[in-house]
Amino acid sequence: MLLIRYSGLRIGDAVMLERRRVTADKLFLYTAKTGTPVYLPLPDFVLTALEAVPKISEQYFFWSGESKRDSATGDWRRALKGVFKEAKIPDGHAHRFRDTYAVGLLQSGVPMDRLSVLLGHSSIKVTEKHYSPWVRARLEQLEADVQRTSEAPIPDTGGTLAVHEKPEAVD
């Protein structure tokens, strides 16, 4: 859970994470969709937790390498579903950790195009579709717009409701 939460990896990518991709304090990401290599710093407590994972494989952290990818990922999804059920979190799923990672970065001011690279999206449009409501600058601008209009004097309409009509064409 810590790995997904602090790296933004998809659960399948986390399950298949090779040990060699974590060096010093960084996770080497290379997403096939974008072809962009990225070195992502991981917090010390995530690195410590990875070191404490029982070694079931020399190559992988969470997979023996013997089963199919879908089978191993399904096992971890079911295990996490049990954790969410025990914690009384309805409709809990692994992708929530990825979403938390993404939203946290956006609220800290990370630009959408950089987040898109970190998440491995094939296009910034995918990132915008899912995460644009949490762009900090956008939210601050919306708040400022509403604040500015709420402080403006209300125009006198002569006691009647103002009717908004289509403006006439200007020559």
Give the pLDDT of residue 143.
82
pLDDT classification of 153: cutoffs 50, 70, 90? low
The answer to whether 133 touches 106, Cβ cutoff 8 Å, is no
Distance from C-alpha of 116 to C-alpha of 124, rounded to nearest angstrom: 6
Look at residues 122, 133, 83, 97 and name the one whose alpha carbon lies nearest to residue 5: 97
Give the pLDDT of residue 135.
75
The answer to whether 100 touches 107, Cβ cutoff 8 Å, is no
pLDDT classification of 139: cutoffs 50, 70, 90? confident
Q: Position 134: which residue type? A: W
pLDDT classification of 165: cutoffs 50, 70, 90? low
Give the pLDDT of residue 76.
93
Give the pLDDT of residue 154.
61
Distance from C-alpha of 38 to C-alpha of 30, rounded to nearest angstrom: 6
Report DSSP letters for 20-86, one per residue: GGEETTEEEEEETTTTEEEEEE--HHHHHHHHHS--S-SSBSS--SSS-HHHHHHHHHHHHHHHHHH
Give the pLDDT of residue 38.
84
- Does residue 163 surpass a pLDDT of 60? no
Domains of the chain, each with CATH number or no CATH: 2-150 (1.10.443.10)
Identify the sign of the CA torsion 89, 79, 50, 27. Answer: negative
Q: Are strands 26-31 and 22-23 parallel, antiparallel or unpaired?
A: antiparallel
Give the pLDDT of residue 64.
94
- Does residue 133 surpass a pLDDT of 70? yes
End-to-end CA distance of the chain: 63
Give the tens place of pLDDT for each residue, 43-84: 999 999 999 999 999 999 999 999 999 999 999 999 999 999
Give the tens place of pLDDT for each residue, 80-129: 999 999 999 998 999 999 999 998 898 888 898 999 988 888 889 999 99
pLDDT classification of 33: cutoffs 50, 70, 90? low
Give the pLDDT of residue 109.
84
